[in-house]
Amino acid sequence: MSRRLSAIALALGILVGATGLKAAITSHAKGVTVANSPAPAPPQRRPVQ
Amino acid sequence: MPGSVELFIWYLGTAFELAFVVCSIARKSFFTYFFLNLYMLLTVLVDVARWLVCRQFGFDSDQYMGCYYYTDALLTVLLYVLLVSLFARVFGELRFAKHMRLAAVVLLLGTAAFSYAVIAQSESRLYTGSVFAYELSQNLYFVGIVLTYLLWAAVLKLRETRTRLVQIVLSLGVYFSLNAATYALCNVAPQYGGVIHAAGAIGCLLPLAWCITIMRYSEDSRLAPAQLVAVPR
C-alpha cells in the first residue's frame, strides 16, 4: 500500500476511534463538553435539534 | 449574567490566556509557537465577544447560545490546526510531512462530513447552523483527544528531549483528560454542582501551564534522556 493510502487510512482510523470514544462517553450525556476557554456554557446546554 | 464563581473563573482564564501571549512575546517565542499564540489570542477575543454578547442580550439568550457554539467551533478548528502543527514539530525530522498534511486534511474534511451526515439524518435539523457548529465542535474535540494521545505516544516512542515541546504536549494531554473526566463525572454524578465549575477551572490550567513552560524553559532546554534498561542475560 502506498504511503498516500496509508495516510488516508490512518486519518479514517482516527476518525472512527474518535467517534467511537464520543459515542461511549456521550451516550447518556446531559451536558456539553467544554473544549475551549473558561466561558460558561449557555443554560440550554445544547442548541435546539 | 452567570454566577460570581463562573464569572471569576472566566476572568481568571482570560487573564491567563492573555498572560501566555505576553510571556511568549517577552521570551521572543511568538512566531516559534505561532499557532499556540494564535489560538490563545483568538480565545481572548472570543472571551471578550462572548462577554459583550452575554451583557447585551443575557446569559440565557439565543444570541449568546449562537455566539457560544459558533465561536467554539472556530476555536476547536484552530485547536486542531495547533495539534497538527505540534505533530509537524515532533515528526519534523522524519520525511513524511507531506503525507501528514494529507492525513490532517482528510481527517478534518471527514469529521466535517460525518458531522453533516449526523445532522442530515434527522428531519428538520438543518434550519439552524449552530447545530452543525455544535456537532462539528464536539466531534473535532474527540478527534483532538485521540490525536493528543497519539502525539503523547510519539513523544515517548521517539524519546523527544525538547523540554518545551514535551511540556506543551503533556499539558494538552492532561487538559483533555481532565476535561473528559469532568464531563463523564457531570453525567454520572450531576448532583454535585461543583463539577460544572471544575470544567471552567480546567480551562484556566492550560494557558497557565503553557505560561510556566514558556517562562521557565528556553527553546534550547533539553530533558535528560531516560536511562537504558539493563536487560539481564
Sole residue written with cell 435539534:
A49
Chain B contact probe: residue of A36, A44, A45, A49 with most B CBs at under 10 A: A36
For the segment B200-219, what is each residue's pLDDT rounded down to a tens digit?
A: 788 888 899 999 999 998 88
DSSP 8-class letter at A31: S
Is residue B223 in some structural domain? no
Does a structural domain hold residue B221? Answer: no
| Cross-chain residue pair B196–A3, CB shorter than 8 Å | no
CA atoms within 13 A on the CB side of B47: 27
Whichever domain contains B66, its CATH number is 1.20.1070
Inform me whether the pLDDT recorded for B24 exceeds 80: yes
In a domain, B119, yes or no: yes
pTM score over 0.90: no
At residue B168 the predicted structure's pLDDT band, cuts being 50, 70 and 90, is very high
Q: Name the residue of chain A whose CA is nearest to B43's CA.
A: A37
Q: Across the interface, do A49 and B125 touch by the CB < 8 Å criterion?
A: yes
Domain count across chain B: 1
Domain assignment of residue B58, yes or no = yes
ipTM: 0.83
Residue B28 domain-assigned (yes or no):
yes
- Secondary structure element (H or E) that encloses residue B6, with its range: helix B4-26
Residue B60 has pLDDT above 80, yes or no: yes
Burial (CB < 10 A; 0-12, 13-18, 19+), residue B26, is exposed
Residue B231 forms part of a structural domain: no
| Residue whose C-alpha cell reads 510571556 in the numeric block | B23
Is residue B22 included in any domain, yes or no? Answer: yes
Element (H, E) at B79: helix B62-90
Report pLDDT for B125.
54
Residue B197 sits in which domain range?
4-216
pLDDT in tens, A14-42: 999 988 888 877 766 655 566 677 888 88
pLDDT, tens digit, 9 for 90 and up, residues B82-137: 999 998 888 877 777 788 888 899 999 999 999 888 888 765 555 566 788 888 88
H or E segment and range at residue B195: helix B194-216
Could you identify the residue written with the cell 522524519?
B94
User: Is residue B140 a contact partner of residue B111, using CB atoms and an 8 Å limit?
Assistant: yes
A45 interface with B at CB cutoff 8 Å: no
Spatial distance between the Cα atoms of B75 and B81, rounded to a whole number of angstroms: 10
> Is pLDDT at B50 greater than 90 in this prediction?
yes
